[in-house]
Structure 1
Amino acid sequence: MNLIMLNSYDSAGGAAIATYRLHRGLRSVGVDSHMMVLRKGTDDCSVIGPLNKWERARAILRTKLVRVSAKLFRGHQQSLFSPAWLPERLASKVAKFSPDIVHLFWVSDGFFRIETLKTFKQPIVWTLHDMWPFTGGCHYDDECGKFRQSCGNCPVLRSESEHDLSRRVWARKRKSWEGVPIVVVATSYWLADMARSSSLFRDRRVEVIPNGIDTEKYKPMSKEAARAAYMLPQDKHLILFSAFNATSDKRKGNQFLARALEIMSQAGWGSKTELVIIGATRPEVPHEMGMKVHYMGHLHDEISQVVLYSAADVVAAPSMQENLSNTVLESLSCGTPVVAFNIGGMPDMIDHRINGYLATPFEPTDLARGMMWVLENKDRHAILSQRARQTVVERYPLLAIANRYLALYQSMLK
């Protein structure tokens, strides 16, 4: 089977990492998979990206142009918003490979134009990594819910107009995609429910297939050795917070974590617990977190991630909206329990008080209660860790997930 997978990147961002893992998994089960990207970060010859310096520069320019243009709209500042308006030649590039299936993933940042979808001649699968495919341009809707009708008055754009950019983007999608056969795959039950309730996808076939992970790469290692590798204390409880732009992206929930850590400190945990942050460097004026903080910056290799997951006693994932978090999946695979709010795809992976703790959404007190509950009993912690690893081995092994996709492709070609 000849497959083309479309994703803006192959290594930058959570969707890219999950998609590239699936690409390698599909090749392992016999699929002739090629991954086509706007910007390439790996040296994998089965990933098709810009061929020369000029094409690489043009790809960077496209991304910057798209992001700057979105910021020109009144009130839009930080949240990602993608109008997907730039012309591109994606369909002709795909056609050269004569694929049996075209499989889309995260295709923003100037890689894909909305009107291109109807030009593909092959069956289409679209795996959702956020809400963008069925909204008027936002990637997470901040609970506005207007994607269920026709968008407009977009809170991400801080717009007060019914006929704003989000309404126009939604209308382009409705017009261009009407009658185009698409099988939608959500990686979490929450995102599947959102897609089924949306005005754009409510009549589509929607399946749920989670992200997979190589459980032989992401596995527990000696906590003592892991801490020694990064010169982290052996005699403290370590809480890990890992996210892209961990302290600057409001959706990742750093504001709730900071308050929860203050509550823990007031309860006597400040002197025996320290925080490790992946995805941020130490600011000139560090935030007050109620305890010592180790800033690890951005990590670019899997070994470093495994080491730090193994070094931690618990991972905090206080996102406000989240699909199927790579951080949670990786942490559990390394045997580290996770505390998160009971939102999005978190309940898919975290079984409350079984392999972690699901806190009441956006209540720092319960987030703190969950972290203390995980840490306070050594015997219980060992059981939680064992169950965390077991969860991933049973539900998310990469080759099993790849075979589920293969079965889906085969059913579409019958």
Structure 2
Amino acid sequence: MIDLKVVHLNTYDGNGGAGRACLRLSDALKASGIDSKVLVYYKFGQNPKIDTFSKTPIQKAMAVYNILSERYYAKWLSKSVKTPFSLQWFGKSIKNHPEVKNADIIHLHWINHGFLTPKFLAELDELEKPIVWTFHDSNAFTGGCHVRYGCENFHQQCGNCPILKINGDNDISHKTWLRKQKAYGELNFHIIAPSNWMAKSVKFSSLLGTRKTSVIPNTIETNVFKPYVKSEAKKILKINPDKFVLMSGFMPSKNDKHKGTPYLIEALEILSRRTGIQKSNIELVIFGNKENAEMPEFPFKTTFLGTINKDDHLAKCYSAADAFITPSLEDNLPNTVMESLACATPVIAFTTGGIPDMVKHMQNGYLAKYENAEDLANGIEWLYHRPNKEAIQKAARLSILSDFSEEVVAAEHIHLYETLINLQPK
């Protein structure tokens, strides 16, 4: 293995799935002997392992201005739909930053919200270094949206965007597409898709369909997210050990399209009416959001854990559950699914996005038909009546250790880095 200095670039420090995935990868690489560092545009926390481009008061103020401007302009120009959209009008040049200039590999992650515009991305080609870009969502190959749902405009040149208030052939999405086309024509980079679904999406895109793409998943700290004895974990949450516990993550408004909350509500209603289901024996646990006026009503006793900031406690919460349910309608490689499986808790989800890369139907979880609440309820009932739950729990844990552990994922990245280094002109 050759000596490598890798710098990872992300907008935020762990604020969201991409930030967590970025830091987890960097830690895994360091554990494998790589000089790996994370640099973010704006740093919220105090993690000493993460550096930032915005250190001085003036730099921080400028970053806040860019971030807020990007977000509010996008909100003003978009319809009132829960689909994130980025304009990439505001940004920062980083080509002269010492850590970027001295790196052997520049690894891009999530770079929206006022960080890197197409113009500032193209500048990185001047450094003549291998550039790798992990696509944590679809924004890199669309005219602005991060979640596509059924829209296929990215197959062409975007335009007529269903998200924008003012749309047409030459709307903002098409103009953004053209800016990206120009920038990508000046920038050589290798794409990493965390899931097969994302890789397939890239191939269909008009912007990047011919680019080289490797499928390498995100990783997880398997020594932190690990199984605990379920009965003991339930006691920690003050739940009767004999209860069948269903867990789900962040519950936004029931009108939120991306997270699929209405399907979860409907599935639980269906389940509660079925014969053979003892309602008093089932409890729902939700983390990531406190109980509030927008929280929907569920047909089972529900415990709201709020935001959990400590991963070891989060692992115990996963371990307390007999099943983790995610009704997401489009997701790349969701951290919550990986975390749950690592804690030996089977996952019940729709067959969508990168979830089938992790959940194997009726082996370590259940893949329901897309947007089918009835089948989501079938998955819960299947596990509820399953006599050999321990075998499914064991399969859940083993699936993460074999394909998503730090050692496995770090080795795949290192192999790619070395290949790209060797392809550089001597």
| TM-score bracket, shorter-length normalisation | over 0.9
**Structure 2 runs not aligned, ≥5 long:** none
Counterpart of 1:6 in structure 2 is 9
Counterpart of 2:75 in structure 1 is 71
Q: Which amino acid aligns with 2:175?
A: R
Write the distance in 2 (CA, Å) between the matches of 1:262 and 1:96.
53
Counterpart of 1:60 in structure 2 is 64
Q: Deviations over 1:85-139 (max 9, x none)?
A: 1131222226664111111011111111111122112211001111011000100
Counterpart of 1:84 in structure 2 is 88
Q: Which amino acid aligns with 2:37?
A: H
Asked whether the equivalents of residues 94 and 100 of structure 2 are also in contact (C-alpha less than 8 Å), the reply is no
Write the distance in 2 (CA, Å) between the matches of 1:247 and 1:110.
29
Asked whether the equivalents of residues 341 and 359 of structure 1 are also in contact (C-alpha less than 8 Å), the reply is yes
> Compared with structure 1, are the counterparts of its residues 96 and 205 closer, same or farther at alpha carbon in structure 2 (3 Å cutoff)?
closer
Q: Which amino acid aligns with 1:36?
A: L
| Among candidates 4, 28, 34, match of residue 25 of structure 1 | 28
Counterpart of 2:397 in structure 1 is 389
> Compared with structure 1, are the counterparts of its residues 30 and 41 closer, same or farther at alpha carbon in structure 2 (3 Å cutoff)?
farther
Q: Does 1:168 align with 2:172?
A: no
Asked whether the equivalents of residues 5 and 103 of structure 1 are also in contact (C-alpha less than 8 Å), the reply is yes
Q: Does 1:155 align with 2:162?
A: yes
- For residue 206 of structure 2, give the secondary structure of its aligned residue in structure 1: coil
Asked whether the equivalents of residues 6 and 35 of structure 1 are also in contact (C-alpha less than 8 Å), the reply is yes
Residue 74 of structure 1: CA displacement?
4.9
TM-score (norm: length of structure 1): 0.95
Moved more, 368-377 or 228-237: 228-237
Q: Does 1:325 align with 2:329?
A: no
**Structure 1 runs not aligned, ≥5 long:** none
Moved more, 361-370 or 272-281: 272-281
Counterpart of 2:196 in structure 1 is 189
Residue 52 of structure 1: CA displacement?
4.0
Q: Does 1:242 align with 2:245?
A: no
> Compared with structure 1, are the counterparts of its residues 400 and 285 closer, same or farther at alpha carbon in structure 2 (3 Å cutoff)?
closer
Name the % identity: 34
Asked whether the equivalents of residues 153 and 164 of structure 1 are also in contact (C-alpha less than 8 Å), the reply is yes
Asked whether the equivalents of residues 148 and 197 of structure 1 are also in contact (C-alpha less than 8 Å), the reply is yes
Asked whether the equivalents of residues 7 and 99 of structure 2 are also in contact (C-alpha less than 8 Å), the reply is no
Moved more, 48-57 or 224-233: 48-57
Q: Does 1:223 align with 2:230?
A: yes
Structure 2 matches for 1:11-410, cutoff 5 A?
A: 11-49=14-52, 50-93=54-97, 97-120=101-124, 121=127, 122-157=129-164, 159-243=166-250, 245=252, 249-267=256-274, 268-284=277-293, 286-377=295-386, 379-410=387-418
Asked whether the equivalents of residues 243 and 327 of structure 1 are also in contact (C-alpha less than 8 Å), the reply is no
Q: Which amino acid aligns with 1:163?
A: N
Write the distance in 2 (CA, Å) between the matches of 1:353 and 1:136.
38
> Compared with structure 1, are the counterparts of its residues 413 and 244 closer, same or farther at alpha carbon in structure 2 (3 Å cutoff)?
farther
RMSD: 1.8
Write the distance in 1 (CA, Å) between the matches of 2:344 and 2:282.
19
Write the distance in 2 (CA, Å) between the matches of 1:217 and 1:143.
37
Q: Which amino acid aligns with 1:17?
A: R
Asked whether the equivalents of residues 238 and 311 of structure 1 are also in contact (C-alpha less than 8 Å), the reply is yes
> Compared with structure 1, are the counterparts of its residues 249 and 345 closer, same or farther at alpha carbon in structure 2 (3 Å cutoff)?
same
